[in-house]
Amino acid sequence: MDKQATANQWDVIVIGGALSGAATATLLHRRNPKLRILILEKSAKFTRRVGESTVEVSAYFLGRVLGLTDHLVDKHLVKQGMRFWFSNEHADSLEACSETGPSYNVRLPSYQVDRSVLDEEVLRRVVAGGAELKRPVKVTDVVLESGGQQKVSWQDAEGNTSGGQARWVVDASGVAALLARKNGWLKTNQEHPIAACWGRWVGVKSWESRELRERFPEWSERTQGVRGTATNHIVGKGWWSWWIPLAGGDMSVGVVYDQRLMELPAGDSLSERMQSFLMQHPAAREIFSEPTVRTGDMHHRRNCSYQSTQMAGDGFVLVGDAAAFLDPFYSPGMDWVSFTASGAAELVGGCLRGRPAKARVARYQERFSLCYDRWFRALYRDKYFYIGDHELMTLAFRLDLGTYYLGVLSQPLKYGEETLSVPAFARRGSGLAAGLIGLYNRRFSEIARGRMVRGTWGRRNHGQYFPFVSYQIDKRLFWRVVWALGLWMILEFKEGWRTWFRKPPAIPVERA
Q: What is the pLDDT of residues 293-337, one digit of tens each?
A: 887 888 999 999 999 999 999 999 999 999 999 999 999 999 999
**Sequence-separated (6 or more) residues with CB below 8 Å from residue 194:** 256, 257, 258, 259, 303, 304, 305, 327, 384
Q: Give the per-residue pLDDT at 509.
A: 60
Give the span between the Cα atoms of 366 and 359, in whole angstroms. 10
Q: pTM for this one?
A: 0.95
Q: Give the per-residue pLDDT at 170.
A: 98
The overall average pLDDT reported for the chain is 94
Domain 74-115+189-301 -> CATH class:
alpha beta
Q: Give the mean model confidence (pLDDT) for residues 85-95.
A: 96
Split at pLDDT 50, 70, 90, the class of 511 is low
Q: How does pLDDT run across 185-225, given as a tens digit for each residue?
A: 999 999 999 999 999 999 999 999 999 999 999 999 999 99
Rg over alpha carbons for the chain, rounded to the nearest Å, is 23
Give the span between the Cα atoms of 156 and 134, in whole angstroms. 9
Helical packing angle, 333-352 and 357-375, nearest 10°? 170
Q: Give the per-residue pLDDT at 397.
A: 98
Give the span between the Cα atoms of 468 and 214, in whole angstroms. 24
Burial of residue 289 (number of CB atoms within 10 Å: 0-12, 13-18, 19+) = exposed
At residue 262, does pLDDT exceed 60? yes
The alpha helices in 314-387, defined as continuous H runs, are 333-352, 357-375
Q: Give the per-residue pLDDT at 425.
A: 95
At residue 273, does pLDDT exceed 70? yes
Q: Using alpha carbons only, what angle is made at residue 29 by residues 66 and 168, rounded to the nearest 5 degrees?
A: 120
CA distances 272 to 105, 126, 200, 341, 501, Å, are 34, 41, 13, 38, 44
Q: Give the per-residue pLDDT at 218.
A: 95
Q: Parse the chain into domains and list their residue ranges.
A: 1-73+116-186+309-377, 74-115+189-301
Q: Give the per-residue pLDDT at 69.
A: 97
At residue 228, does pLDDT exceed 50? yes
Sign of the torsion angle spanned by Cα atoms 417, 418, 423, 428: negative
- In single-letter form, the type of residue at position 296 comes to G
Percentage of the chain modeled with pLDDT above 90: 90
Q: Cβ(114)–Cβ(51) under 8 Å?
A: yes
Q: What superfamily does domain 1-73+116-186+309-377 belong to in CATH?
A: FAD/NAD(P)-binding domain (3.50.50.60)
At residue 1, does pLDDT exceed 50? no
Sign of the torsion angle spanned by Cα atoms 205, 206, 210, 216: positive
Q: Cβ(20)–Cβ(320) under 8 Å?
A: yes
Q: Give the per-residue pLDDT at 5.
A: 42
At residue 52, does pLDDT exceed 80? yes
Give the span between the Cα atoms of 384 and 509, in whole angstroms. 12
Q: Using alpha carbons only, what angle is made at residue 381 by residues 245 and 255, rounded to the nearest 5 degrees?
A: 30
Split at pLDDT 50, 70, 90, the class of 370 is very high
At residue 77, does pLDDT exceed 70? yes
**Three-class DSSP category at 306:** strand
Give the span between the Cα atoms of 99 and 86, in whole angstroms. 6
- In single-letter form, the type of residue at position 287 comes to I
CA distances 133 to 17, 32, 92, 304, Å, are 8, 18, 54, 30
The alpha helices in 76-163, defined as continuous H runs, are 115-128
Q: Cβ(44)–Cβ(135) under 8 Å?
A: yes
CA distances 503 to 450, 453, 498, 507, Å, are 10, 13, 10, 12
3-state SS string over 406-438?
A: HHHHHHHHHHCHHHHHCCCCCCCCHHHHHHHHH
Q: Give the per-residue pLDDT at 2.
A: 39
Taking the CA of residue 233 as centre, how many other CA atoms within 13 Å lie in the half-sphere pointing to its CB?
28
Give the span between the Cα atoms of 355 and 337, in whole angstroms. 24
Question: Which is more confidently placed, 400 or 512?
Answer: 400
Q: Which of 317, 291, 27, 280 is nearest to 172 (CA)?
A: 317
Sign of the torsion angle spanned by Cα atoms 52, 57, 61, 67: positive
**Three-class DSSP category at 79:** coil
Q: Give the per-residue pLDDT at 426.
A: 95
Q: Give the per-residue pLDDT at 3.
A: 41
Q: Give the mean model confidence (pLDDT) for residues 445-468.
A: 95
At residue 415, does pLDDT exceed 60? yes
Split at pLDDT 50, 70, 90, the class of 48 is confident
Q: How does pLDDT run across 91-134, given as a tens digit for each residue?
A: 999 999 999 999 999 989 999 999 999 999 999 999 999 999 99
Q: Give the per-residue pLDDT at 50.
A: 72
Q: Cβ(509)–Cβ(384) under 8 Å?
A: no
Q: Which residues pair with 142 in a beta bridge?
A: 152
Give the span between the Cα atoms of 319 and 171, in whole angstroms. 6
Split at pLDDT 50, 70, 90, the class of 510 is low
Split at pLDDT 50, 70, 90, the class of 512 is low
Give the span between the Cα atoms of 40 and 35, in whole angstroms. 16
Pairing status of strand 306-308 against strand 137-143: unpaired
Give the span between the Cα atoms of 360 and 369, in whole angstroms. 14
Sign of the torsion angle spanned by Cα atoms 228, 230, 234, 240: positive
